[in-house]
Amino acid sequence: MQKEYRLRKNGQFRYVYRKGKGSAGRELAVAFVRGPKLLAGFSVSKKVGNAVIRNRIKRRLREAFKKQIPLVKKGMYVFTARPMAADAAYESLEKTMVYILRKNGLYTSSPDGKP
C-alpha cells in the first residue's frame, strides 16, 4: 500500500477511535470516519502474538487493503487485528475485510462486480 494512504500519527488514530463508527468480523475490527481523503491504519496488539507475527499480520492487512483502494469510499479507516488473526491465512483476512467493508456500505462499487 502506498504511503500516501497510511495513517501515521497517534492523533489520527485517536480521532478515528473517538469520532468513528466501528464494526467487527472474526479476525479483525474496523473503525471508520468519512472524510475528504482516503487514509488507512493498521493496529495489532501484543495479545495477538510476538513481533514477527504482528508484523506479518500488518503486511497481510496492508496488501488486502491495497486491492480495495479503488473501490472504497474516502475516509479514515483503522483496522485492528484480533487474536484469531494470528492463525488466519491471507485469504481469510482478505475475505473478512471485504465482509466488514460491505456490511458497513463503505464501497463505492461492489468488489465482485455485482451492483
Second CATH level (architecture) for the domain 3-102: 2-Layer Sandwich (3.30)
DSSP state of 46: T
pLDDT at 91: 96
Q: Where are the alpha helices (DSSP H) in the chain?
A: 10-19, 51-68, 90-103
The Cα–Cα gap between 108 and 46 comes to 34
Residue 63: CA count within 13 A, CB half-sphere: 13
List pLDDT tens digits, range 12-32. Answer: 999 999 999 999 999 999 999
Q: Tell which residue, 79, 53, 54, has the closest CA to residue 66.
A: 79
List pLDDT tens digits, range 33-83. Answer: 999 999 999 999 999 999 999 999 999 999 999 999 999 999 999 999 999
Please give the average per-residue pLDDT across 93-109, as a whole number: 92
Domain residue extents for the chain: 3-102
pLDDT above 50: residue 115: no
Task: Tell me whether residue 36 is exposed, middle or buried, using C-beta atoms within 10 angstroms of its C-beta: 0 to 12, 13 to 18, 19 or more.
Answer: exposed
Grid cell at residue 2: 502506498
